[in-house]
Amino acid sequence: MLSTERSKLIDAYLATHVQDDEEMDKSRMTISYKGVLHRHPVYKIPTKYLIHNIMNGRFRSELLEKQSELNKKLDASDEKDKPIFRQLLLEQKRSETEVLKADLIKNGQLDPGIITHDGAVINANRRMAILHELFEETKDSKYEYLLVARLPSDVGEKDLWKIEAGLQFGRDYRLEYGGVNELIKLREGERQKLSDKEISIALAGRYTVKTVRDKLDTLKLIDSYLKFINKKGQYNLIVEHRSLEKFNSLYSNVIKPLKKKHGIDGKEIATLTEVAFGLIEKTDVSHWDIRELRKIATIPKAANQLKSSLVQETPTQDEKTEQSDSKPIIVKEPDGEQLKEAFTSAKEVVDAQEDRDKPLRLLSRAKSALDGVDEKSPILKEEKAQKELKEINEILKKIIDSTK
């Protein structure tokens, strides 16, 4: 790592300000990197020499949202942007921030943080933001410092990720990692060329190798969804709409088993996925509803009923050339009501299939449904309704004839 202006300032500060050796020895911090445990002294360093490091941390989705809102990329070292970083840190889960603030006032900073050699804070960003707020409120100089262990300059990006992830995913850590930010953090490890096994080990086995892969694949699914709704990279939408569990269900309970156990081809899964995306975006389906898509996909009649919500036409030669094998052409985008109706009808087909050896139950259900039809509705005169009535009549005739 090259020597930066910040690292030089920190070096100069530590060279000219005597630290309490006894206190430093008492509070030495053990940090693992390069496959070895290292004991580091803890220093009292002015926060003015440090910068927030939350681009790859637990506030990643909130930071991306803020950058989108401001239409600019924020720089933690820019004096104009520093207040924005602090505000993000302070306002997320404000009630927990207030608890930590009260603790800092009463007891001071008991747990030291960790910084990179050039002063980027790894695991005490919220505490530093609170200390800055306390100094602004009280002008007490004791709030101008952060207790930290400083990593050497040769700690690389992979080890930095392992250190940060190990701390931030710890079960006893002060603030739980947000679900979406957790996925983003895992992907940062993947982008550092860490294998699924290395990521699992770095997290002290909190996630198995299989779980790491499932989570990374779920994030890919979320990326596809955000692109599908023209909101690429806006992970905050998943947080705001509390949709993460729906994507967990879609991947783990639908797409994955359909590929492995049922051998559904890529084009069918792509169509099913786009229907699921529409349901998530435009309706109030729950993650339990999303799980029903697996059963629907394995029953052709139910799958066709679901796909009836997609208005398609025969593609032109140019469209055939452009069309991939795994993605259908959707000519007219269905609205939420059409999607929900098709989904409900498909589930009814599944229920009927599961009750096929219980004819009285099915007949009772059919009778109740037909009793609910308003025979004066003008919709019954439409072509689609007439076709349905004709098919119902033929089914009834077939059943009655079979009992003679």
Q: Is the model's pLDDT at 380 over the cut of 80?
A: yes
Specify the range with the lowest mean pLDDT, choosing from 127-131, 248-252, 355-359: 355-359
Q: What is the pLDDT of residues 196-222, one digit of tens each?
A: 999 998 887 788 999 999 999 999 999
Collapsing DSSP to helix, strand or coil, 93 comes out as: coil
Closest Cα to residue 310, out of 286, 347, 339, 284? Answer: 339
Q: What contacts 37, CB < 8 A, 6 or more positions away?
A: 30, 31
Closest Cα to residue 270, out of 224, 218, 317, 205? Answer: 224
Task: Name the band, by pLDDT with cuts 50, 70 and 90, for residue 169.
Answer: confident
**pTM, to two decimals:** 0.66
